[in-house]
Amino acid sequence: MIRGWLSRLRAQREQRIVQRRAISNELWIETMASLPFLARWSVADLEALRRLTSLFLDEKEFSGAGGLEVTDAMAVRIAVQACLPVLHLGLQPYRGFVGIVVHPDEVVARRVVTDDVGVVHHYDETLAGEAMEGGPVMLSWRDVENAGESAEWAYNVVIHEFAHVLDMADGAADGVPLLAHRAARDAWCRVIDAEYAAFCDVVDAGEDTLLDPYGAESVDEFFAVASEAFFVAPHEMRGEHPGLYALLAQYYRQDPA
Ligand SMILES: [Zn+2]
């Protein structure tokens, strides 16, 4: 009885937010046109995506860096891609952070590492995006803007960074998202560890890969690049990595191919 009452109350609250944060038809059509890979989803899924995008916009705070002003159109284009992976999972896994910082272009980050013998190394790393536990998520607008075309080579910076957020939802960036129980976690690790090892061999051999070779860096990067391909190049992804595709389809509760 109370449960029914609570869920009705929540539905009403969500409905008010969706109305307050409604995305105009014009902006929605413009956003869909800029992301042609979304044409694979059904009308019902896209309606649900539009609704979830409004809820996401209500919870998150966008800010521009380097003089960039984040317009409504930019925020919607980022939000819709961030919501795609959680279309059937809901926004709960994203609740650990609020801020999304958008830079005009890639960012050069200064890194410092100390090696095994205690020598400190300084180096620069060029980033199109970054996700840290507790946030914020950082994105390069130039990379977001090219998401329509870059889908062809299975590249999508927003999905990549939000896959990291999902990965970290259980407290560790280890290529394993929050799963219902221990057995699911074990099953996940069996598949992804084997796929990752095979992928590293192919990258080491210098062969061309559908997935970004950057995925060979670590298993958490492998999960992120596999998620990109799963959503923006699903047919190719299913053809080359059927086991990994099935694992992601089960986790995301979607089958884009
Ligand atoms: Zn990454």
Q: Is 183 exposed, middle or buried (0-12, 13-18, 19+ CB in 10 A)?
A: exposed
Q: What is the pLDDT of residue 29?
A: 97
Dist. CA 130 → ligand 1 center (Å): 7
Dist. CA 211 → ligand 1 center (Å): 13
Question: Is 23's pLDDT higher than 80?
Answer: yes
Buried b (16+ CB within 10 A) or exposed e, 197-217: eebbeebeeeeebebbbebbe
Question: Is 84's pLDDT higher than 90?
Answer: yes
Q: Which of 197, 110, 209, 108 is closest to 155 using CA atoms?
A: 209
Dist. CA 126 → ligand 1 center (Å): 12
| Residue 164 CA neighbour count, 13 Å, CB half | 21
Token output for 234: 């699903």
- For the segment 150-185, what is each residue's pLDDT rounded down to a tens digit? 999 999 999 999 999 999 998 889 999 999 899 999
- For the segment 100-110, what is each residue's pLDDT rounded down to a tens digit? 999 999 998 88
Dist. CA 180 → ligand 1 center (Å): 24
- CA torsion through residues 139, 141, 145, 146, sign: negative
Question: Is 46's pLDDT higher than 80?
Answer: yes
Dist. CA 225 → ligand 1 center (Å): 8
Dist. CA 224 → ligand 1 center (Å): 6
Q: What is the pLDDT of residue 33?
A: 97
- Across the chain, the runs of DSSP E, i.e. the strands, are 61-64, 99-103, 107-114, 120-127, 129-131, 137-140
**Whether 216 contacts 203, CB under 8 Å:** yes
- For the segment 125-151, what is each residue's pLDDT rounded down to a tens digit? 889 999 988 889 999 999 999 999 999
**Rounded to two decimals, what is the model's pTM?**
0.93
Q: What is the arithmetic mean of pLDDT over 80-91?
A: 97
Dist. CA 230 → ligand 1 center (Å): 15
Q: What is the arithmetic mean of pLDDT over 81-86?
A: 98
The β-bridge relationship of strands 129-131 and 137-140 is antiparallel
Dist. CA 251 → ligand 1 center (Å): 19
Measured CA to CA, the distance from residue 84 to residue 45 in angstroms comes to 10
Dist. CA 60 → ligand 1 center (Å): 21
Residue 101's DSSP bridge partners are 63, 138
Q: What is the arithmetic mean of pLDDT over 84-101?
A: 96
Token output for 155: 């590249």
Place of tokens 């290529």: 175
Question: Is 2's pLDDT higher than 80?
Answer: no
Dist. CA 20 → ligand 1 center (Å): 33
Q: What is the arithmetic mean of pLDDT over 28-46?
A: 97
Dist. CA 233 → ligand 1 center (Å): 18
Dist. CA 236 → ligand 1 center (Å): 21
Amino acid present at 216: A
Q: At 211, is the pLDDT very low, low, confident or very high (cuts 50, 70, 90)?
A: very high
Dist. CA 215 → ligand 1 center (Å): 8
Dist. CA 139 → ligand 1 center (Å): 11
Question: Is 45's pLDDT higher than 90?
Answer: yes
Question: Is 1's pLDDT higher than 90?
Answer: no
Amino acid present at 180: A
